[in-house]
A and B are shown apart, each in its own frame.
Chain A
Amino acid sequence: MSELTRVLSSNPIEKRSAVKNLIVKILLYALLILITFITLFPYVWMILTSFKTNSEATSVDLKLFPEVFRIDSFITLSKLQEQRISNTSFLRAMLNTLIIEVTVIPVGTFVAALAAFSFSKMRLPHKRFFLLFLMSGMMVPYAAVLLPQYRAFKAIGWVGNEGFAQLFPLIIPGLFGNVGMMFFFIQYLKSTPKALIEAGRIDGASWLRIFIRIVLPAILPAIAAQVIFWFLGIWNDYFAPSIYLSNEWLTLQALISQLNDSTARRADIPLVMAGSTLGSIPMIIIYVFFQRYFIQSLALTGIKE
């Protein structure tokens, strides 16, 4: 360790401050390792528990590791319908979640970016009014508009529907764009030179063409940042799915919470933990691969708003 040799070979005054630095360093790293332990423990506990039997998991005599690593809970998870625990299989729940993701995000993002382009680069009449009008929607909490939406969706037959229409309350509103995202794009577009767009105009390109050929590529980093968080938001969404979905149409989070409900009486803890583990893994993998993006985007959002 080069630091140690440096400490030992230096003169007394330097040595004292170097020793002090080393102690500070050791203390700081000890603290970081402690916090890492606190952060990771719930994950470790969730995973270990999912390999236990229920009597091990609910025993007063608690053991860290399962006696034998059993995959019974994961097998149960693959046979939820046969075991009459849920009408939605685990894979189906993942598919339902993905259906919402892939319909809402591309359309909603396109709509939001197009509107942002109009706001920031075009001669939009009553610009200020429209912007304030749209942004005022950001301050209305979802819970406040939930009840009339629920009634309306029930009236048109989306609530209590047996089929695919159940997913509509979670898909249709998203197709109209996301105002928070639009606001982010407007901020981002401020740094896009107007000359780029004017050049396109001189070439005689239509506005839509300019948007697709020039603007979309220019704001691609902003799109990626926002899409990642929207994807995460839909994947982890729980409130609306738990209200609107039933039968085989549950999303992942709605299914996992149902595991907790349907097993409440017998409290099948390992099954709930196995579901939580499998439900969290995809996002963790995506996060680990794109962590730079996650962290940069989050930082950007915080500074810009």
Chain B
Amino acid sequence: MTKANRNLYRKEKRTAVLFIVIPLIGFSVFTLVSLVAVLVFSFADFNTYRNTFDFSQPFKNYLNLFTNETYSTHFFRAVGNTVLLLIGIPIGMVAGIALAALLQAKAVKKGKKIFQVLFYLPAVTSAVAVNLVFRYIFNPSYGIINRLLDADIHWFSDEWLIKVAIILKNTWSSMGGTMILYIAGMLAIPQSYYESADVDGASATHKFFKITLPLLTPTTFYIIITSVIGGLQSYADAKLFGDGAAGSQTIVWFIWQYGINQGKQGLASAASLVLAVFIMILTIVQFRFSNRWVYED
């Protein structure tokens, strides 16, 4: 290597580092430092009025979170609600794949595009609008559901019914996005697989379960993980749809309620950290598996 070339390489390396310096700073300040701070907060007793930290009982927040009668009840309720609401994910996925299969069916030709565009509409509508409209639709005294059924169903005060309502709402808003991902996955399957199945006289159902579904595994896995990560961070459902009703309180709602609303930042930081650990594990699982599934077959 000549001296001129070495100089050129050194210059290229320096420029390359320069080009990534802004994201590096952003990540360090807004994520790394914040994460360390949340860790520190979670071991501190923070006094809002005097603006001081007290580290004399480092595990107090965690003890409170898991054993204090009021706090742990609220926290475990939030965790339980958040996890139960994840049941909506497989429901939305089944709806999404059914829609995708329906639109890819041979008998459906005319208007395919229009249906596809319409079904995706909820995905571009804000969570605020969706939650407020559905809160009106489910209103126990004048909502259209109870009025049409002429029933007196307590959608908000019952801790199970409010979950049913939230899951119905989330299925409505998520199935279009899932459908698009599945259609993309289906279009990537080589037509020859189906042709050879046709030669063997396979039925449409058989082809769907033996060819389409197994080959869509990477898409399915992607949707499950991203939806679970999103679901664990759900907040608008609790804040807007449930308006803080006990049956709708989620982990992020708990963090907001104690950390921002009530100024109990130590307690909320401990909850944040528990949530962050959960999500980090899930993300690592996703990267591990998506590599195996997407690249190796």
Contact = CB atoms under 8 A, between A and B. Distances in A.
B22 to A, nearest CB: 5
A39 B265 contact: no
B185 interface: yes
A154 to B, nearest CB: 10
Nearest to A121: B16
Contacts of B256: 143, 146, 243
Interface in A26-56: 28-29, 31-32, 35-36, 38-40, 42-43, 45-46, 49
9 contacts: A58-B141, A115-B23, A124-B17, A238-B240, A243-B256, A257-B239, A280-B125, A284-B124, A305-B222
Given A119-B20, A122-B12, A257-B128, A302 B184 contact: yes
Given A115-B22, A141-B232, A299-B180, A273 B275 contact: no
Nearest to A138: B283
Given A111-B23, A144-B276, 19 more contacts: A32-B111, A32-B115, A36-B119, A43-B121, A58-B142, A115-B19, A117-B19, A124-B16, A137-B32, A147-B259, A148-B34, A175-B26, A207-B12, A239-B252, A243-B256, A273-B136, A277-B129, A295-B180, A302-B219
Contacts of A58: 141-142
B15 A122 contact: yes
B27 A147 contact: no
A176 B23 contact: yes
B43 to A, nearest CB: 13
Contacts of A175: 26
A242 B49 CA distance: 24
Main secondary structure of the interface of A (DSSP, over half): helix
A68 interface: no
Among A42, A207, A303, max chain B CB count under 10 A is at: A42
A62 B129 contact: no
A147 B265 contact: yes
B162 interface: no
Which 4 pairs of residues, A with B, have the shortest CB-CB distance? A176-B26, A299-B184, A148-B37, A139-B283
Nearest to A173: B30
Contact of A179 (B9, B27, B184): B27
Contacts of A286: 124
Nearest to B130: A42
B108 interface: yes
B108 A28 contact: yes
Interface in A169-224: 173, 175-177, 179, 182, 207-208, 211
B38 interface: yes
Interface of B: 9, 12-13, 15-17, 19-20, 22-27, 29-35, 37-38, 41, 99, 102-103, 105, 107-108, 111, 115-122, 124-130, 132-134, 136-137, 141-142, 144, 147-148, 172, 176-177, 180-181, 183-185, 188, 219, 222-223, 229, 232-233, 235-236, 239-240, 251-252, 255-256, 259-260, 265, 268-269, 272-273, 275-276, 279-280, 282-284, 290
A158 interface: no
A294 interface: yes
A211 B18 CA distance: 13
Contacts of B38: 144-145, 147-148
Contacts of B177: 298
Q: Which of B20, B107, B142 has the most CB of A within 10 A?
A: B20
Contact of A276 (B128, B148, B276): B128
A59 B20 CA distance: 59
A253 interface: yes
Nearest to A242: B239
B127 A236 contact: yes
Contacts of B117: 288, 291, 295
A159 to B, nearest CB: 10
Contacts of B282: 139
B102 A31 contact: yes
B124 A28 contact: no
A175 B22 CA distance: 9
A269 interface: yes
B258 to A, nearest CB: 10
Contact of A253 (B34, B128, B144): B128
A139 B127 CA distance: 22
B290 A305 contact: yes
A180 B85 CA distance: 26
Given A118-B19, A279-B128, A303-B185, A39 B176 contact: yes
B37 to A, nearest CB: 3
B129 A125 contact: no
Nearest to A177: B23
A143 B257 CA distance: 12
Nearest to B34: A145
A57 B142 contact: yes
Contacts of A288: 117
Contact of A143 (B17, B41, B126, B255): B255
A144 B273 contact: yes
A125 B219 CA distance: 34
Contacts of A253: 126-128
Nearest to B290: A305
